[in-house]
């Protein structure tokens, strides 16, 4: 292949291996982009001393950049972009090329650091080193390159702060350092470079605030990307002075305050993203900025999800640019119905209104958005039917309308959405049969979730068309019949959940054809026959739940069935097996007797029966009287637990050693708790026995707990396993609930009665766990639940120190109208002194804000180590006042002295230590000599402020649990990131 070298008559022969040799010293330009050359870049190019431009971009070279390139003293342009080099460092020798103006090395896997000597290349105008594996800091010598107008080093592993010296780059137009590990505050000198048009700082660890005058100091700014950092404070309205701004990305920070209304004065604005911040005040004027944006005639994307924006979504949204393709306002506090004006935005391809408080019906005009690909409306309060017009959306790829109050049948028109990849209609009130054509959508790959509805009928044979499906969830419905054998055609299935229906027949053998299955749950149905032995051959299977069916015969013992931790077979009394951990009966014990033995057995049985009739008649009459008396007490707790398989009194008596004192682990107002074991359940359990059944309050407590727990499923709530409602050996009424056993006891014990200390990280994890559990109870259950007695002794810790909220004996279920409070008086709800909100003492109605108050007090106790009833809180001073007086400057004085946290000890030298160890090591270090590390300070102040916002005297001023959970998770994650550790959960 002949390659012409511009500016000279001779030519240089270049082979397919890119081997080049110098034959003339008058070369000025060598340009070979996109020729797919392979091999290595020849070091002999370094002999072309007159070379001014070397363009080898978009080839397939291996090797590294030759050191000999440093001999090209006349080189002005070096472009090796996307040449597939095998890493290596940027040669320091390149800094000898003093005439170099453009250095383009992006996309090559380069390692090492940016050479400090780069500041010697005083003529450099462009540095592009994007998408490599460069480490180390941005060298301060960069500030010497006064002609530089582009510095792009995104997608590397650079660390440290941006050097203050960048403020010398008076010609700088593009500064792109996103997706690195840079930290610290952004130097003010950078914001003083009026020449900057593109400023991309996203996905780093920058802190601090945006300067209030940014729009005046950067008037030429066109694109500002600062998402995924730790920035805070308000969004400056001066940004509106940067009149040519077209891209503003501020996602995932901690910005607060309002969204500037003046953004509507940016005529070229295309993209506005401010999601995952703390913007808004949950008030009616939070969306005023939308009306202003109607002047942005070119706006294409608007994202403000996961903030604190409240009020109704204004009808003026219909006046936004007709070019709008993306609208994300999810996870806010928006009320009311979807505005009719939204109908005008016919070019939308993504609409996300999820996790708000929208009510009313889903508008049928969504069916007019012919370009719509994603529709997310989950977690609202929509009612009515699913519009059949959604079937018009032939581009639709993802639909999530779960966790609403939708009724009626699934419109069969959805079967026309041939591009649909995921459909989630779970947790609604849908009824009828599932349309057959839904199962014909072979495009469904990400998942089909129809769980927690009231669908009836059979699963059709057409289920076999879901050949690309990875997850199918039909659980908690009223489906009947068998699972069609065509399920075996769904070769991509990884998760199949069909529990809690009324399926019958045998488990289809074809399930064994699903070779990449990871999770299979067919529990709480009426399956008969044996467990298909081929299920044990699915090597990827990690979870198998076949409990509470009518399975029989010998259980297979290999594969997943040899791993008791991933299998549940309880509640199948005719199932046997030889894996001891599964707690099945021995198969030899249920062998069929011979014909002769059966005859003898029948004769003996007749004798026993007739001999026992007299005794049974007399004793039965006595027991009948007690049962009749017990039935007179109307109790809906038993009916609430109908979908659990009841255990007998005998099982519980044996499993707790006769309810011995050695098994006693706790007691409460209405129940005594024992540790025990049950043959049906492979792990230890906690058995809560109801006391004083003659007391009507005890029955009410048991009923409350049953009703509260019958349908809840959350990792941070104690899970009920089974129950017992029977007579004891004396013929007296007996009731008990069986829960998971929590081996690490209660939070109360860890805070006050053990010598084991909870670290700051552990307390943050526990706080997030409890907040998540309460958020689920308040807002994500089909019917909201108020716990009414949250305190440390009702927070239990599992083997991984994950927190579970327990003891629902005082719980109340709210009306299905989420805006209503329980009308009954709370005079009878005592709760616990110190944790119960003040309004309960005045007979006010039960509502979620009561739990929020209790959680705030619990949070204060967790981090101060002081109970709200501590003796120090007298004469009008309480725990809240105690903490308020210490924020923000004196928090060390109120923290739990048993909580290890990082501190800086100031005594001549700065030493990193840990509170309280150094305070008690005998070296005389005073509290005044210590200061919390900045990250710990920020974390603790934030947590205590959240706690105080929860425990406000006035219910209307308390923060909602959804927001509390979100903020605590953010605080926890920020703290974990500052110490380069992972939270235990979340």
Give residue limits of the domains in the chain. 235-355, 637-740, 747-978
Whether the pLDDT of residue 387 is over 80: the answer is yes
In terms of DSSP H, where are the helices of 166-213? 188-191
> pLDDT at position 625, please?
40
Please compute the mean of the pLDDT values over residues 837-856 and round it to a whole number.
84
Binding residues: 688
> pLDDT at position 909, please?
37
Please compute the mean of the pLDDT values over residues 944-971 and round it to a whole number.
91
> pLDDT at position 814, please?
67
Residues 254/277, Cβ–Cβ less than 8 Å: yes
pLDDT in tens, 58-117: 887 878 899 999 899 999 999 999 887 777 899 999 999 999 999 999 998 899 999 999
> pLDDT at position 227, please?
95
DSSP code for 881: H
Residues 374/397, Cβ–Cβ less than 8 Å: yes
> pLDDT at position 608, please?
40
- pLDDT: which is higher, 244 or 661: 244
Residues classed as catalytic = 789
Torsional class of 452: left (φ above 0), alpha (ψ -120 to 50), beta (otherwise)? left
> pLDDT at position 702, please?
66
Where are the strands (E) in 761-892, listed by range? 785-786, 795-797, 803-805, 812-813
Paired with 279 in beta bridges are 257
Percent of the chain at pLDDT > 90 equals 53
Query: At which residue do the structure tokens 């990082």 appear?
Result: 902
> pLDDT at position 723, please?
81
Helix (H) or strand (E) holding 768: helix 760-775
Which tokens belong to 861? 């106790």
Query: At which residue do the structure tokens 């959680």 appear?
Result: 855
Paired with 667 in beta bridges are 672
Q: CATH for 637-740?
A: 3.30.200.20
* Half-sphere exposure for 306 (CA within 13 Å, toward CB): 16
Torsional class of 924: left (φ above 0), alpha (ψ -120 to 50), beta (otherwise)? left
Whole-angstrom Cα distance, residue 239 to residue 224?
A: 10
Whether the pLDDT of residue 717 is over 80: the answer is yes
Q: Which CATH class is domain 235-355?
A: alpha beta
Binding residues for ATP: 688
Task: Tell me the pLDDT band of 5, cut-offs 50, 70 and 90.
Answer: very low
Residue (of 228, 278, 279, 221) closest to 249 by Cα position? 228
Whether the pLDDT of residue 449 is over 60: the answer is yes
Whole-angstrom Cα distance, residue 570 to residue 211?
A: 63
**Average pLDDT for the chain:** 83
Q: CATH for 747-978?
A: 1.10.510.10
Residues 906/921, Cβ–Cβ less than 8 Å: no
> pLDDT at position 634, please?
34
- pLDDT: which is higher, 821 or 489: 489
Whole-angstrom Cα distance, residue 619 to residue 611?
A: 14
pLDDT in tens, 538-584: 889 988 889 889 999 988 888 887 776 788 888 888 898 877 667 77
> pLDDT at position 700, please?
59
Whether the pLDDT of residue 610 is over 60: the answer is no
> pLDDT at position 587, please?
82
Please compute the mean of the pLDDT values over residues 770-788 and round it to a whole number.
86
């Amino acid at each position: 292949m002949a390659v012409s070298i511009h500016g000279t008559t001779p030519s240089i022969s270049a082979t397919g291996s890119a081997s080049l040799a110098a034959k003339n010293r008058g070369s000025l330009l060598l340009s070979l982009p996109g020729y797919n050359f392979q091999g290595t870049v020849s070091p002999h190019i370094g002999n072309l001393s007159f070379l001014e431009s070397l363009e080898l971009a978009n080839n397939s070279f291996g090797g590294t950049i030759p050191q000999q390139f440093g001999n090209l003293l006349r080189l002005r342009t070096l472009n090796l972009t996307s040449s597939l080099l095998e890493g290596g460092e940027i040669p320091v020798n390149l800094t000898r090329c003093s005439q170099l103006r453009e250095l383009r090395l992006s996309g090559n896997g380069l390692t090492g650091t940016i050479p400090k000597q780069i500041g010697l290349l005083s003529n450099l105008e462009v540095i592009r080193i994007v998408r490599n594996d460069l480490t180390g800091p941005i060298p301060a010598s960069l500030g010497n390159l006064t002609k530089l107008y582009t510095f792009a080093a995104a997608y590397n592993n650079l660390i440290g702060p941006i050097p203050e010296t960048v403020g010398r780059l008076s010609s700088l137009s593009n500064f792109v350092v996103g997706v690195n590990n840079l930290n610290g505050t952004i130097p003010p000198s950078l914001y003083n470079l009026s020449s900057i048009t593109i400023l991309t700082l996203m996905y780093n660890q920058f802190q601090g605030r945006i300067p209030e005058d940014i729009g005046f100091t950067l008037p030429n700014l066109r694109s500002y990307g600062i998402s995924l950092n730790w920035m805070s404070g308000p969004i400056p309205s001066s940004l509106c002075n940067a009149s040519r701004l077209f891209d503003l990305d501020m996602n995932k920070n901690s910005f607060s305050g309002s969204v500037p209304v003046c953004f509507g004065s940016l005529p070229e604005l295309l993209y506005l993203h401010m999601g995952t911040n703390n913007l808004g005040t949950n008030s009616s004027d939070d969306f005023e900025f939308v009306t202003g944006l109607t002047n942005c005639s070119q706006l294409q994307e608007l994202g403000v999800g996961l903030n604190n924006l409240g009020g109704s979504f204004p009808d003026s949204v219909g006046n936004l640019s007709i070019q709008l393709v993306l609208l994300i306002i999810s996870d806010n506090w928006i009320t009311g119905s979807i505005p009719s004006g939204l109908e005008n935005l016919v070019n939308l391809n993504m609409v996300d209104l999820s996790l708000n408080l929208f009510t009313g019906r889903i508008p049928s005009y969504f069916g007019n958005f012919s370009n719509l690909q994603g529709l997310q409306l989950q977690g609202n309060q929509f009612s009515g039917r699913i519009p059949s017009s959604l079937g018009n959306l032939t581009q639709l790829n993802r639909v999530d309308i779960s966790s609403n109050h939708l009724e009626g049948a699934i419109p069969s028109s959805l079967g026309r959405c041939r591009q649909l990849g995921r459909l989630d209609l779970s947790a609604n009130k849908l009824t009828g049969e599932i349309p057959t054509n839904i199962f014909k959508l072979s495009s469904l790959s990400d998942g089909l979730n129809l769980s927690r509805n009231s669908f009836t009928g059979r699963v059709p044979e057409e289920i076999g068309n879901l050949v690309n499906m990875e997850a199918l969830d039909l659980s908690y419905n009223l489906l009947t019949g068998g699972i069609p054998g065509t399920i075996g055609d769904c070769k991509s299935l990884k998760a199949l959940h069909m529990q809690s229906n009324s399926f019958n027949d045998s488990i289809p053998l074809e399930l064994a054809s699903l070779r990449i299955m990871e999770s299979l749950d067919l529990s709480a149905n009426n399956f008969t026959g044996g467990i298909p032995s081929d299920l044990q051959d699915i090597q990827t299977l990690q979870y198998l739940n076949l409990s509470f069916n009518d399975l029989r015969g010998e259980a297979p013992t290999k594969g997943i069935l040899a791993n008791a931790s991933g299998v549940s077979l309880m509640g199948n009394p005719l199932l046997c097996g030889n894996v001891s951990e599964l707690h099945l009966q021995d198969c030899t014990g249920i062998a069929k007797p011979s014909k002769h033995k059966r005859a003898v057995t029948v004769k003996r049985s007749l004798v026993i029966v007739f001999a026992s009739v007299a005794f049974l008649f007399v004793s039965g009459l006595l027991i009948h009287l007690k049962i009749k008396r017990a039935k007179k007490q109307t109790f809906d707790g038993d009916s609430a637990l109908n979908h659990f398989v009841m255990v007998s009194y005998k099982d519980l008596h044996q499993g707790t050693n006769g309810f011995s004192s050695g098994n006693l682990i706790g007691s409460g107002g209405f129940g005594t708790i024992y540790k025990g074991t049950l043959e049906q359940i492979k792990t230890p359990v906690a058995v809560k026995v109801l006391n004083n059944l003659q007391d009507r309050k005890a029955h009410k407590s048991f009923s409350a707990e049953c009703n509260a727990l019958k349908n809840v499923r959350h990792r941070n709530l104690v899970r009920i396993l089974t129950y017992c409602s029977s007579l004891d050996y004396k013929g007296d009424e007996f009731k008990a609930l069986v829960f998971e056993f929590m081996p690490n006891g209660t939070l109360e014990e860890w805070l006050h009665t053990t010598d084991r200390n909870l670290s700051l990280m552990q307390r943050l994890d526990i706080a997030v766990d409890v907040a998540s559990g309460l958020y689920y109870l308040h807002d994500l259950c089909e019917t909201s639940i108020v716990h009414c007695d949250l305190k440390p002794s009702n927070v239990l810790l599992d083997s991984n120190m994950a927190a579970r909220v327990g003891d629902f004996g005082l719980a109340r279920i709210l009306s299905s109208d989420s805006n209503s409070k329980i009308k009954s008086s709370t005079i009878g709800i005592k709760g616990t002194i110190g944790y119960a909100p003040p309004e309960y003492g005045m007979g006010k109605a039960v509502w979620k804000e009561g739990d929020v108050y209790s959680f705030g007090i619990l949070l204060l106790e967790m981090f101060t180590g002081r109970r709200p009833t501590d003796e120090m809180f007298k004469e009008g001073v309480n725990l809240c006042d105690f903490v308020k007086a210490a924020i923000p400057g004196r928090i060390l004085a109120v923290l739990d002295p048993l909580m290890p946290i990082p501190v800086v000890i100031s005594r001549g030298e700065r030493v990193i230590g840990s509170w309280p160890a150094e305070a008690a090591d005998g070296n005389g270090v005073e509290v005044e000599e210590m200061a919390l590390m900045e990250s710990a300070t920020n974390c603790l102040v934030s947590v205590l402020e959240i706690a105080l916002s929860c425990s406000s005297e006035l219910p209307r001023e308390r923060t909602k649990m959804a927001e509390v959970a979100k903020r605590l998770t953010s605080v926890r994650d920020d703290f974990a990131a500052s110490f380069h550790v992972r939270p235990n959960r979340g």
